[in-house]
Amino acid sequence: VCMDFKTFVCMTCSGIHREFQHKCKGISLSNWTKEEVAAIEQGGNTKAQEEWMACWSEKDFPIPESGDKERIRTFIQKKYVDRKWHISRKRGSPNPEPISNILPEEPKVSPCPCPKKLISRVADCQQGCGTH
């Protein structure tokens, strides 16, 4: 079981999920807490499919064959790490805005005639050069 997404997965997929630091537990040899069992009961493969594959179509990236480990790894990355087909994209959630759009512009700096000094406003000159 991949605990991060509350899904039942095969051995191949559990190994790949672990590569992405997702927590996986075996069904038969693991000890399960009541909280973990309740979480799995609230989740499950169908619910995860509705959330993580809401915007997916076969043309985006076909479901990989069970023996194709590299395509499975790519699929899991696109699905869970990149959130490529997550339901939040379907609801029109905006993509994160680039940081350059959020940060204020650098103040425009005008050179002061004082040696090797740049200031943002003439009034900021502390050299007393008398040219301001």
Instruction: Look at the chain and report how many structural domains it folds into.
Output: 2
Q: What does pTM read for this prediction?
A: 0.65
HSE of 87 in the Cβ direction (CA atoms, 13 Å)?
6
- Residue 5 located in a structural domain: no
Please tell me the predicted confidence (pLDDT) of residue 112. Answer: 54
Helix or strand or coil: residue 87? Answer: helix
Distance between CA atoms of residues 122 and 114, nearest Å:
11
| One-letter identity of residue 41 | E
Specify whether 112 is located in the same domain as 76: no
75 and 116 in a single domain? The answer is: no
Q: 132 and 74 in one domain?
A: no
User: In a 3-state reduction of DSSP, which class is residue 119?
Assistant: strand
CATH of residue 71's domain is 1.10.220.150
Considering the domain architecture, whether residues 26 and 82 belong to the same structural domain is answered as yes
The answer to whether residue 128 scores a pLDDT higher than 80 is no
What is the mean predicted confidence (pLDDT) over 100-113? 53
